[in-house]
Amino acid sequence: SWAVYRYGNGKFDVENIDPNLCTHLVYGFAGIDGDTYEIKVLDPWNDLSTEGGKGAYNRFTGLKQQNPHLKTTLAVGGWNEGSEKYSRMAADPVKRANFISSAIVLLNEYNFDGLDMDWEFPTYRGGSLDDKENFVTLLKELRVALDEHNMLLTAAVPAGLKILEQGYDITAVAAIMDYVHLMTYDFHGAWETFTHHNAPLRAHPQDTGDDVNKNVETAVEYWIQQGAAPSKLVLGIATYGRCYTLDNTADTGFYAYAPEPSRAGPYTGTRGVLGYMELCEMQQTSQDWTVVHDPAMNEPYAYHFATKMWCGYDDPPSVAIKAAFARDRGLGGTMVWTMDTDDFHGNCGNNR
């Protein structure tokens, strides 16, 4: 929802969504009030219609008028919300009840079809080791409450094995949910000092140690091995790249030394990240970009000598490969994170 504040071609609003391209749309994000532990509208001016607001909630769920089969859900959480409030809420029956009852009211008021829990992450970032069990308790209570209103319950979950092992009872979580949205991206990034792909489908031949497990295939197989039904798993696909500043432009492959994140993009404004629409626009306006399809990988990377930028990202062919992977594994589908960094204007190809 923050993308509405961008300028030019980067500005994204509800009207940029084609409601016939997806079966489900998720609005991100709502949060939690740190005093009452009720669900909290994070951007009332944009999200609500009161006091001259833009009414994005109503406009978003109103997309169902164009596609009656569409389901619209509201995500609560996200990285910026942190973990501590969610840990305290999940540990306390009264706080859980406040959150759940207020969430039901908000979902009904704005005609949402369900809730997407995006607590990032149980037992981490100031959380408690009890979060693993308490998260299951919270989901069970949410399940009962949402079922009374015929609403969906989904969750966005990490793909890193260490976080999963410590914070998630996968068997219990998967049994409760309608769908589990796997955040199978951000395996690598500029917090490291070497180049690698944001979301590799499989391990790179040069991967060693923990890096061998930082890929889509390993994450999916782990969830299935822990008892999750494949039909409940939704494979996440990133519409942005993780980008670095090369130390030496003579070394442009995987594991090249890159001690700094890339410069920020014109729309996303964050070092180390470029939206697909930014990458495409940059490649269209500069001949200095080189795009490489490593035969060992299914995803491209691109580098730019003048700025020393190096980005690992997904493009339409690599997305098609991941969709085929999801189909072949019998998964419930694919999702994208996020629509506002994709080519939503259709400037990079023949359509959006």
pLDDT above 70: percentage of residues in the chain = 99
Per-residue pLDDT, averaged over 213-233, amounts to 98
Which secondary-structure segment (H or E) carries 293?
Answer: strand 289-293
**pLDDT given at position 51:** 80
Res. 64: pLDDT tops 80: yes
Domains and CATH numbers, the chain: 2-238+315-341 (3.20.20.80)
Which secondary-structure segment (H or E) carries 155?
Answer: strand 152-158
| Tokens 């391990």 belong to residue | 203
pLDDT in tens, 22-43: 999 999 999 999 999 999 999 9
- Look up the pTM and report it: 0.96
Do residues 297 and 312 make contact, with C-beta atoms less than 8 angstroms apart? Answer: no
Other beta carbons within 10 Å of 295 = 6
Per-residue pLDDT, averaged over 184-193, amounts to 98
d(CA 76, CA 41): 9
**Residues with Cβ within 8 Å of residue 311, at least 6 apart in sequence:** 241, 242, 243, 244, 262, 274, 279, 301, 302, 303
pLDDT above 90: percentage of residues in the chain = 95
User: 66 falls in which pLDDT band (50, 70, 90)?
Assistant: very high
**pLDDT given at position 97:** 99
User: 351 falls in which pLDDT band (50, 70, 90)?
Assistant: low
Which active-site residues does the annotation give? 120
**pLDDT given at position 269:** 96
d(CA 292, CA 315): 12
**pLDDT given at position 284:** 93
Res. 1: pLDDT tops 80: no
Of 83-97, 100-114, 304-318, 336-350, the one with minimum mean pLDDT is: 336-350
d(CA 273, CA 279): 10
Per-residue pLDDT, averaged over 111-118, amounts to 99
Res. 263: pLDDT tops 90: yes
**Residues with Cβ within 8 Å of residue 68, at least 6 apart in sequence:** none
Per-residue pLDDT, averaged over 234-253, amounts to 98
Per-residue pLDDT, averaged over 254-259, amounts to 98
